[in-house]
A and B are shown apart, each in its own frame.
Chain A
Amino acid sequence: MAEEPESVLQLPPSTAVGGEGLTEVSPEAVTSEPPSSAAVSPGTEEPAGDTKKKIDILLKAVGDTPIMKTKKWAVERTRTIQGLIDFIKKFLKLVTSEQLFIYVNQSFAPSPDQEVGTLYECFGSDGKLVLHYCKSQAWG
Chain B
Amino acid sequence: MEEDEFFGEKTFQHYCAEFIKHSQQIGDGWEWKISKDCSDGYMCKTHFQIKSGTVVSHPGTSAYVQTCLPTEEALELPLDDFEVPETAVASEVIKYEYHVLYSCSYQVPVLYFRASFLDGRPLTLKDVWEGVHECYKTRLLQGPWDTITQQEHPVLGQPFFVLHPCKTNEFMTPVLKNSRKINRNVNYITSWLSIVGPVVGLNLPLSYANATSQDERNVD
Task: Write the residues of chain A forming the contact surface with B, with a CB cutoff of 8 angstroms.
Answer: 62-65, 82, 85, 96-97, 99, 101, 103-114, 118-119, 122-123, 132, 134, 136-140
Give bound CA distance, A111 to B135, whole Å.
10
Closest to A95 in B: B139
Task: Write the residues of chain B forming the contact surface with A, with a CB cutoff of 8 angstroms.
Answer: 133-136, 138-140, 142-143, 146-147, 164, 167, 170-171, 173-175, 177-179, 182, 184, 186-187, 190-191, 194-195, 197-198, 203-204, 206, 208-210, 212-213
Q: Which of B140, B170, B204, B213 contacts A136 (CB 8 A)?
A: B170
B191 A137 Cβ-Cβ under 8 A = no
In the complex, how many angstroms separate the beta carbon of A81 from the nearest chain B beta carbon?
Answer: 8
Report chain B residues within 8 Å CB of A103: 175
A140 B147 Cβ-Cβ under 8 A = yes
B206 A139 Cβ-Cβ under 8 A = no
In the complex, how many angstroms separate the beta carbon of B113 from the nearest chain A beta carbon?
Answer: 15
Q: Which of A105, A132, A140 contacts B209 (CB 8 A)?
A: A105
Give bound CA distance, A140 to B141, whole Å.
10
A139 B147 Cβ-Cβ under 8 A = yes
Report chain A residues within 8 Å CB of B170: 136-138
In the complex, how many angstroms separate the beta carbon of B206 from the nearest chain A beta carbon?
Answer: 5
In the complex, how many angstroms separate the beta carbon of B173 from the nearest chain A beta carbon?
Answer: 8
Report chain A residues within 8 Å CB of B191: 107-109
Report chain A residues within 8 Å CB of B184: 106-107
In the complex, how many angstroms separate the beta carbon of A52 from the nearest chain B beta carbon?
Answer: 23
B178 A140 Cβ-Cβ under 8 A = no
Give bound CA distance, A138 to B204, whole Å.
19
Report chain A residues within 8 Å CB of B208: 108
Contact status of A114 and B206, CB under 8 A, knowing A99-B139, A107-B186, A140-B139: yes
Report chain B residues within 8 Å CB of A109: 191, 194-195, 198
In the complex, how many angstroms separate the beta carbon of A90 from the nearest chain B beta carbon?
Answer: 13
In the complex, how many angstroms separate the beta carbon of A77 from the nearest chain B beta carbon?
Answer: 15
B178 A106 Cβ-Cβ under 8 A = yes
B167 A139 Cβ-Cβ under 8 A = yes
Give bound CA distance, A61 to B110, whole Å.
26
Closest to B204 in A: A111
Closest to B143 in A: A140
A134 B203 Cβ-Cβ under 8 A = no
Report chain B residues within 8 Å CB of A114: 206
Report chain A residues within 8 Å CB of B135: 82, 85, 112
Closest to A85 in B: B135
Beyond known contacts A99-B139, A107-B175, A132-B178: 15 more, CB 8 A cutoff: A62-B175, A85-B135, A96-B138, A99-B136, A105-B210, A106-B178, A107-B186, A107-B212, A108-B212, A109-B194, A110-B209, A111-B198, A122-B210, A136-B167, A140-B143
